[in-house]
Structure 1
Amino acid sequence: MAPERIAGRIGGVADAVPGGPGGSARPLHTRPVSWRGGFGRVYRATQASPVRRELAIKLLKPGMDSEAVLRRFDAERQALARLNHPAVARIHDAGTTPGGRPYFAMELVDGVPITAECDRLKLPVAARLELFRAVCLGVQHAHQKGVVHRDLKPSNVLVTTVDGKPQPKIIDFGIAKALDEPLTSDGAITLARQVIGTPRYMSPEQAEVGNADVDSRSDVYSLGVLLYELLTGTTPLTDADLPGSDWTGLAERLRHTVFPPPSSRLRGAARARAEQIAERRGTTAERLRRAISGDLDCIALRALEPDPSRRYPTAFALARDVERSLAHETIDARPPDRLYRAQKFVRRNRVSVGVACVIALSVLAVAGTEFRTLRRVQAEGRATRAALAEAQAVTDFLAQTFTSIDAEGAGAELRLADVLRQASSQLDRGDAFGASVSLAAQARLHGVLGISYWELGDWRSAEHHLRRSASIAEQLGRELTPLQLQTMMNLASLVYERGDPSAALRLMREAEPGFRRVFGPESDRTLGFLGNLALMTGAAGEPERALDIERRVLSARERVDGPDAARTIGAMHNLAVRLDAAGRHDEARELLLEAVARAERALAPESPERVLVVGELGSLELVRDPASAKHLLRQTLASREATLGPEHPRSLHTAYNLALAHYRLGEHAEAAGLLARVLACVPGRLPHEHPVSLGAMNMLGVVGMHAGWALLGEATAERLVATVRDAPLHALAPSHRNDLALVLCTVEPARLRDMDLAELLLVALVSDAEAHADPDLYFFLDSLGQLRHAQARYAEAITAYQRAINLTPPERPDHRREIEAHLALTLAAHRVNPIDANAEPE
């Protein structure tokens, strides 16, 4: 769209601001300048039509009109225009003046910085947290749209009054990212055209010169600084901590400085200053310290973790912990010390009989198992006495638990999942422990609950308990016990299932020496551990090493357990998976056929190992023999649904593979039905970024495009688009972003399409691929051509297809034929309707 049209829609902006025709310096209706700085100036203006409203016109300073800036500016404004949240100031329009200077036309926010307004109103801590939570949700909304702020601070979070209540509004969302140019103003800094932000609110990775790996977690860090300031009246990094004019050491300082908890910062303040801070929060200094100490200390410090992987993963997770703190519930950031458990016990209800029984039986079972293991593998009397003491503590706990059961309160029969959920809540609150129960027993319980949740397919709860168990084990500071080693392996398996094989492999390698030392080199546990280690090693990009581990495991299994043992058949499955991943498909198939033959001879039909090898053979046959694959996968799905339930992640994975078999056989209706079942479990049972979730979203789009969207039904199409929009698109691999963009621009009915988001994704993919000489550029150009065709911008579509054909590798003639077919469709459409939607009207 031409800049003149954009300016005209705003109502004379281009003529009224500096740099417009005549170079006048007259703001619309002459208002005082409300802000100036490194970006330029902000003018207060009134839009006359089509809707009369007050606007803030942000005109960028001269010199920010290079071709590169304007390209980024145009791409970013498309993302910003999609933000629609009560806590985010809307951007109504954007463009360039006839003089070439970019501008934003934003919602005018007559507000005060959040810290100043909270102090003026003397808001107590709880009210400040409610405002802060609203800010977090606004930031999360933007992150879901692929926009990162990168300069969150009080002056960019204004508070207005709506219906008599304070309402936060985040301004300047994405402007720094849109420009990415050298800036200087009021602490906003740029180094080597790559560092943008305000030092006191900046994450370590953002402060690092030349670091392009700044994502939404950087905003989470800035939110942590803002929370710290709302609580204490000061930022973690004070002005005295900042370097002079040399910013090169800022990232290192932020990475290695240990900030005091907010309550400690208050405790260290001068008495008069502490009372002044407390008075602005409607309380006394001592009461303020007590209110902040504990949960809020932990929440703030977790958000301020120097390592992004240890922070809250999203702004929503930070908001949820704030919400839990306000409701006196367990927070994720808080370690389970006894005082914390006691405090939560006072605030919460007593344990029900179902919860008590689950915990009691879990403790009894695992305590007995570990005690026997410790007696066998530990020769020293000190270790034995410690195990006896822990067993006695568990016995005392069981006696106390069973004598305190409220039989009448047990109520109706509980499902296992319900009981586990209550047990988890009870354990996190600490109500289930007496003073005599050791940290080791606590680690056991968290480990048992983690494994139980994992088997039920609730990975989020499983990870929570497994990480708690590992954290407590680390606190013990002693040689790893069998349970701790098992917990480390289970946690690694869970991290792998969630799609991070490199992180999983790090955990496994940390545990490997302990497994060999404690259990022996060829024990059942060690061989099981090595099988998982090989799986993760291969997924992390070390295929030959993975194959070597799998062969050694299979050889040991056949020697120790026998050729037809269930564990040996499981080892054959694992080796076949590795062979297939290495491209040695025939060897993998022969090994799986042998494994299935052994399983059918020696194992019951419902045996997990038999189900496993039959399902893997079915997956392997998808390309070679989809009819055979369908038969095998149906068996596997029936077995898994009978034992695990239809919504378990393993059942959903099998359902997805069965859908692929149906699709390859041309049975599109059956494929669509299975894929819709998988989609219905996202994100409840599978996270958006799980490979099965992404595969289901993509394949539904493929079925819709090839067999007709009517086959899916409008309800499934609506759910598909909603799920794609909610996915963390900015964090996905380029191929996944490409696939989901195609869904957004081709879905039927057409009213469901989101062309803006599809364009944002595909233009960025093509631009990045061009910049890095990515061999997949042809693939993204083909998708961009399909988008342009859907937009009736046929000339651009034809150009994109022609470029894609020229770049298609010679070894992919199938891709070339597909792109040529797309080009033929567009040429035909262009002949029928030669008017291009992107052409300027005369």
Structure 2
Amino acid sequence: MLQLAAMLDANGIPARVLTSPPALAYLTDQRAATPPYSDACEPLQTTAEEATSTLRTLHRLNLIDHTPKSPHQAIRVHQLIQRAVRDNLPVGHIESCARAAADALMAVWPEVDRDTALAQVLRANAETVRSLAKDALWQPSPHSLLLRTGQSLGDTGQVTAARDYIRRLVDTSRSRLGPDDPHTLNARRNLAWWQGEAGDPTGAVATLTGLLPYQQQLLGPGHLDTLSTRRDLGHWQRYAGDTAGAVTTFMLLLTDQQRLLGPDHLDVLVSRHALAHCQARNGDFAAGANALAELLPLLQERLGAEHPTTLLTRHDLAFWQSKASENTALAVRALAQLLPDMERVLGPEHHHSQITRSNLANFQGEAGDVAGAVTTLTALLADRKRVLGTEHPRTLLTGSDLIRWQARTEDPATVTKAFTDLLKKMQQVLGPDHPTTLKTRSYLARFWGETGNAADAVRELTELLADQRRILGPQHPDTVTTQDELAHQRG
């Protein structure tokens, strides 16, 4: 037990890690090699009760601190004791001990990091194992703990840290396994995801576009990793503003997936969701909403009502049904019911929870509850600054949405200054062609038109329309909206 604890974080180990099935298997193996147990015909299996009793014994001997009332950090071990234990391990034993500790961490790591405090403790323990294991977590194949650490960083809002961690993992995988190893290719796909989440969807598209030919050649066009890369490519095409390209990517992908995997495969259902969302984002609200309405019961049956994909589909269905019917009250009711489920299942800082809060606020404003929208967005902006940083695209977009609704009650000069200051920051951080920058320009132009400044509104809308046609295309919903607003202002 002390050997396992010596491979983990001195500042706190969750008790469940050291009583998990992999930990018990390690203890059983060690017991089987130790007299008198080694003389038995059958190895005596170690139980969770015995493991807990051992922790209490080590505590009484002052070799560890065991505080069961602090479950996330129930076991603490002085670093000098850990070092002494590791230095006395037999030659070659540290590798098996490290992989056992890594297995134990993965056994208790939740699929979704709802508890950010627990996630931080697990990452600290994973980092300790990784630093001590050397080659052990890479042989005979990379341990799943390596990627799970980066995923946890991103899922708890530390998207820049996740991107940087996965970039280092890609470099290590290239040097240890080679550039063509499937694990290296998979790490590159993960890197693209966190590039996009960190605010660089164009960079994510470039990474995936460069990766896809290697996967098609080395793994084959029908390999699940190759298909996953195509799905991620469509996702980030949409976020980079190429919604029509994303629709094409998902339509071709869905055809291949249905042929290769069958119509009921989970990946097919996920791609159906993505295609429906992109169709709606590209302007066909009704088609997207109808496709999502058909998909939701299948997801509830296949995955359960609280699976993240099911919850996200509920969100998108409410959003696009409201857009198709122009019924904002419908969206307010549906998203208000969804938000507690999102926050309970995924945690309040999860990306999907925060998107739900953001869209709920905007629909509140459109339904006439401007004060409610401002209150919701003010709290969300503070959370996004804390979780994502002040320059992340979603933080900047939330700031833009907040000014948009504050404009209903604030002095026009104050609102104009707030918009122009934010636009200057967006152009510096995101660039003038980023969808969030374009969206904020449309908010400012509409504000000028609503407050009687028609000349500036027409000028800004004219310039914006030309940029949207160039960047988004003439049929994009945002382009059409700007065209209609320009005609209205000129009229």
**Deviation for aligned residue 1:472:** 0.7
Length, aligned pairs only: 420
Larger relative helix fraction: 2
Matched, 1:591 2:236: no
CA 763–468 in structure 1, closer or farther in 2 if over 3 Å, else same:
same
Distance in 2, matches of 1:681 and 1:755, equals 38
The residue correspondences of 1:714-729 to structure 2 (distance < 5 A) are 720=376, 723-724=379-380, 726-728=382-384
1:433-464 deviation line (CA, Å, top 9, x unaligned) = 998797734444334333xx2x1352625641
**Matched-pair contact (CA < 8 Å) for 1:458–1:685:** yes
Matched, 1:630 2:289: yes
Matching residue of 2:474:
none
**Matched residue, 1:541:** 203
Counterparts of 1:672-691 in structure 2 under 5 Å?
A: 672-680=332-340, 691=351
1:2-13 pair list within 5 angstroms: none
Q: Show the counterpart of 2:368.
A: 709
Normalised TM-score (structure 2): 0.63
2:170 maps to 1:512: yes
Structure 2 distance, partners of 1:423, 1:596, is 48
> In the alignment, does 2:147 pair up with 1:489?
yes
Amino acid at match of 2:383: A
In the alignment, what sits opposite 1:360? 20
Contact 2:193 2:204 in 1 (8 A): no
Pairing partner for 1:653 from 312, 316, 320: 312
What CA distance in whole angstroms lies between the structure 1 residues aligned with 2:122 and 2:446? 45
Post-superposition offset of 1:549: 1.2
Residue 738 of structure 1, CA deviation:
0.8
1:573 aligned to 2:246? no
- The AA in structure 1 aligned to 2:71 is Q
The equivalent residue for 2:471 is: none
- Give yes or no for the alignment of 1:448 onto 2:110: no
Choose from 312, 322, 328 the match for 1:663. 322
Aligned AA for 2:208?
A
Structure 1 residue 737: Cα displacement? 1.1
1:696 corresponds in structure 2 to: 356
**Change beyond 3 A, Cα 1:785–1:521:** closer
Greater relative contact order: 1 or 2 (C-alpha under 8 angstroms, separation 6 or more)? 2
Aligned partners of 1:808 and 1:510: how far apart in 2? 39
Q: Which of 789, 793, 801 is residue 457 of structure 2 equivalent to?
A: 801
Name the CA shift for 1:481/1:644 in 2 (closer, same or farther; >3 Å): same
Per-residue deviation at 1:545?
A: 3.5
Amino acid at match of 1:543: V
Matched with 1:476 is: 132
Moved more, 515-524 or 628-637: 515-524
**1:399 match: secondary structure:** coil
Q: Which amino acid aligns with 2:419?
A: L
Structure 1 spans left out of the alignment, 5+ residues: 1-334, 346-350, 369-386, 407-421, 826-842
Separation in structure 1 between the aligned mates of residue 165 and residue 427 of structure 2, nearest angstrom = 37
Q: Are positions 1:764 and 2:421 aligned together?
A: yes
Structure 2 residue 105 is matched with structure 1 residue 458: no
Tell me if structure 2 keeps the 8 A contact 1:546–1:578: no
Question: 1:547 Cα shift?
Answer: 1.5
Provide the rounded CA distance (Å) in 1 between the counterparts of 2:285 and 2:136: 47
Q: CA deviation at 1:429?
A: 1.8
Give the letter aligned to residue 426 of structure 1.
P
| Structure 2 equivalent of residue 174 of structure 1 | none
- How many Å separate the matches in 2 of 1:397 and 1:475? 32
Q: Does 1:602 align with 2:262?
A: yes
Greater fraction strand: 1
2:75 matched residue in structure 1: 430
Q: How far apart, CA to CA, are the structure 1 residues paired with 2:232 and 2:306? A: 24
Q: 2:49 maps to what in 1?
A: 402
Alpha-carbon contact 2:22-2:107 (below 8 Å) kept = yes
1:743 to 2:405 alignment: yes
**Alpha-carbon shift at residue 476 of structure 1 (Å):** 1.0
Distance 1:815 1:687, change over 3 A: farther
Q: Taking structure 1 as reference, are residues 806 and 631 closer, same or farther at Cα in structure 2, changes over 3 Å only?
A: closer
2:461–2:482: 8 Å Cα contact kept in structure 1?
A: yes
AA partner of residue 46 (structure 2): A
Q: Distance in 2 between matches of 1:689 and 1:388?
A: 41
| CA shift for structure 1 position 727 | 3.4
Q: Distance in 1 between matches of 2:288 and 2:342?
A: 25
Given the superposition, is the C-alpha separation of residues 768 and 720 from structure 1 closer, same or farther in structure 2, using an over 3 Å criterion? closer
Secondary structure in 1 aligned to 2:403?
helix
Following superposition of structure 1 onto structure 2, how do residues 823-834 of structure 1 map, counting pairs within 5 Å?
none
| Alpha-carbon separation, structure 2, partners of 1:655 and 1:501 | 25
Residues 786, 616 of structure 1: alpha-carbon distance in 2 compared, 3 angstrom cutoff: closer
Supply the distance in 1 between the matched residues of 2:183 and 2:318 (Cα, whole angstroms).
35
TM-fit CA distance, 1:705 = 5.2
d(CA) in 2 for partners of 1:756 and 1:679? 35
1:810 paired to 2:483: no
Match of 1:558 among 220, 237, 245: 220
Q: CA deviation at 1:726?
A: 4.5
Aligned residue identity for 1:653: L
Any unmatched runs of 5+ in structure 2? 1-7, 54-66, 87-93, 469-478
**Distance in 2 between residues matched to 1:397 and 1:468, nearest whole Å:** 32
Q: Cα distance 1:448–1:484, how it changes in 2: closer, same or farther (>3 A)?
A: farther
Q: CA deviation at 1:430?
A: 0.8
Structure-2 separation of matches of 1:519 and 1:364: 31
* Change over 3 Å in CA distance of 1:567–1:814 after alignment to 2: closer
Do the aligned residues in 1 keep the contact of 2:308 with 2:346 (CA within 8 Å)?
yes
With over 3 angstroms needed to count, the CA separation of the structure-2 counterparts of 1:424 and 1:620, relative to structure 1, is: farther
Partner of 1:467: 123
Q: CA deviation at 1:588?
A: 0.3
Partner deviation per Cα, 1:671-701 (whole Å, 9 max, x = no partner): 3333324444676666777654554344335
Counterparts of 1:771 and 1:534, CA distance in 2? 22
SS of corresponding position for 1:735: helix
Counterpart contact for 1:805–1:820, Cα < 8 Å:
yes
- For the Cα contact (< 8 Å) 1:576–1:592, is it kept in 2? no
TM-fit CA distance, 1:592: 2.2
- The aligned amino acid for 2:153 is V
The CA deviation at 1:765 is 1.9
Q: Which structure has the bigger radius of gyration?
A: 1
> Match for 1:618: what amino acid?
A
Aligned partner of 1:764: which letter? Answer: D
Alpha-carbon distance in structure 2 between the residues aligned to 1:464 and 1:425:
14
Give the residue type in structure 2 aligned to 1:765.
L
Partner of 1:125: none
SS at match of 2:325: coil
Separation of aligned partners in 1, 2:230 and 2:427: 43
Shift in Å, 1:364: 4.7
Q: Alpha-carbon deviations, 1:100-144, whole Å to 9, x = none?
A: xxxxxxxxxxxxxxxxxxxxxxxxxxxxxxxxxxxxxxxxxxxxx
Identical aligned residues as a percent? 16
